[in-house]
Amino acid sequence: MDAVWVVVGALLILAGAWDLFMTVLYYDAAGPLSIRLYRAVWGFCRRLAGRVPARHNSFVLSLGIPLMILFSLLMWITMQLAGFASIYYVGLHRGSFRFSEGLEASVVEALYLSGISLSGLGYGDIGPITAPFQLVAAFQALMGYGFLTLAIAYVVNVYKVIEDMGVLSSDIYHESERTYEARNILEVHFHRGEPRDLGYRLHNFYSSMISHHEGMRHYPVAYYFYSRRGYAALPYRFGVIGRVIAALRWGLPADHPVTEEPWLRAMKSAYESISDEIMERFVGMPMPPADKPAPKEAFVTDLAYGRSDDALTHRFLELLDFMEELTEKQHPRDPDEVYARYCTWVPFVSRIDHFLEVMVNRLGAR
């Protein structure tokens, strides 16, 4: 029976230490226990948010990350406490510990001993007197110092990632004049039809996307970031940035200088790879198939009339009109060239629409 207590204790210690290592130190993943804890906490917050008055939804969802971090720390502490207590319990019954008067071998005393060893405290009322358990107690004390260091690093780094997300969200929100319209951002960067500081802005977007992606890769808990300011959520950031890319990449003729902005191509590539990884890692499904473009004959007819009953075609025609207004120039609308742009625009915009629909459903209240 003693062997069972030791084996169970060792397994708890190893499982907790492995989960802590994978979550805090390993770059490309999180511990298997932590990931499941995040999902459980987020599911609870979503269900609770769906049952409170609408004005409190954002507050309830914003509690998700603080609770995930708190419960992760408690889980790791509890596994270490219980694991070492299980081993100490065997030593207590074997006479490997000295007791102050009034104390006796029990589960409570084993937990107490584990707690003071992990925290580095010592009250002198109980302690090991044999070499094996002295080594175990010393090892636990060292683990306690290491746990404290990793816990502090974990909290600080997670909130640094979240702070960066919040800064970009606020930047987008205010630049778009407190809306979620990409066109409001684009208007700021065109003066008398000419781009102004556009390359710098695109570089800023690209750098922020990469930074956030790497932050979520290292600390998956950041994926669930939800602020009481609704615009700080992931769907709004990705929605605005995606529509900026689509407008600049396909709203202008292929030979227009803006479409050749180096950071625009990098943004498109990053947007596609990041959205794919988020879908596969956090949602557990690939990106849904893209919508199909309208037949060329129907598109050319709609292009001539300047309107369409097809929703995607109508959005593309509106984009053409907006970009002409933005550049203060009427661009030639060669049917073949425009249709070629339309056919490559549709898959990207479909990606944005599908991705945002999934993200709103996964990260909103229900």
From the centroid of its chain, how far is CA 361? 15
Q: 97-99 and 126-128: which strand pairing?
A: antiparallel
Q: Mean pLDDT throughout 36-40? A: 95
Task: Tell me how many domains the chain contains.
Answer: 2
Domain termination residue (choose one: 135, 150, 165): 150
Q: Is residue 338 over pLDDT 80? A: yes
CA distance 316 to 251: 8
Residues 338 and 211 occupy one common structural domain: yes
Q: How many CB atoms lie within 10 A of CB 272?
A: 17
pLDDT of residue 9: 94
Q: Per mean pLDDT, which range of 11-15, 27-31, 238-242, 344-348 is the poorest?
A: 27-31
List, for residues 104-127, the tens digit of each pLDDT value.
778 888 898 888 888 877 766 788
Q: Mean pLDDT throughout 222-242? A: 84
CA distance 33 to 229: 30
Q: Is residue 81 over pLDDT 60? A: yes
List, for residues 265-316, the tens digit of each pLDDT value.
999 999 999 999 999 989 888 888 889 999 999 999 999 988 899 999 999 9
CA distance 80 to 15: 9
Q: Mean pLDDT throughout 62-77? A: 94
Q: Is residue 43 over pLDDT 80? A: yes
Domain termination residue (choose one: 150, 185, 210): 150
pLDDT of residue 266: 92
Residues 192 and 111 occupy one common structural domain: no
Structural domain contains residue 170: no
Residues 7 and 46 occupy one common structural domain: yes
Is the alpha carbon torsion for 234, 49, 158, 12 positive or negative?
A: negative
pLDDT of residue 347: 95
The pTM (predicted TM-score) of the whole model is 0.86
Q: Per mean pLDDT, which range of 4-18, 216-230, 240-254, 333-347 is the poorest?
A: 216-230
Residues 235 and 271 occupy one common structural domain: yes
Structural domain contains residue 159: no
pLDDT of residue 118: 87
Domain region containing 50: 2-150
Residues 181 and 325 occupy one common structural domain: yes
Cβ-contact 114, 140 below 8 angstroms: yes
Residues 181 and 315 occupy one common structural domain: yes
Structural domain contains residue 160: no
CA distance 252 to 243: 14
pLDDT of residue 74: 95
Gyration radius from the chain CA atoms? 28
Cβ-contact 222, 162 below 8 angstroms: yes
In the structure encoding, which two tokens stand for residue 32, read together? 């298997």
Structural domain contains residue 171: no
Residues 195 and 335 occupy one common structural domain: yes
Residues 333 and 221 occupy one common structural domain: yes
CA distance 198 to 106: 70
Structural domain contains residue 157: no
Helix (H, G, I), strand (E, B) or coil at 115: helix
Cβ-contact 55, 119 below 8 angstroms: no
Structural domain contains residue 219: yes
pLDDT of residue 123: 66
CA distance 207 to 218: 17
pLDDT of residue 102: 67
Residues 55 and 191 occupy one common structural domain: no
Residues 183 and 324 occupy one common structural domain: yes
CA distance 234 to 225: 8
Q: Mean pLDDT throughout 198-219? A: 91
Residues 239 and 343 occupy one common structural domain: yes
CA distance 174 to 190: 17
Among 33-37, 107-111, 169-173, 188-192, name the most confident range.
33-37
Residues 184 and 277 occupy one common structural domain: yes
Place of tokens 């997300």: 165
Structural domain contains residue 166: no
pLDDT band, residue 236 (cuts 50/70/90)? confident
Q: Which helix H or strand E contains 191, and what residues bound it?
A: strand 190-191
pLDDT of residue 76: 95
Structural domain contains residue 256: yes
Q: 126-128 and 190-191: which strand pairing?
A: unpaired
pLDDT band, residue 365 (cuts 50/70/90)? low
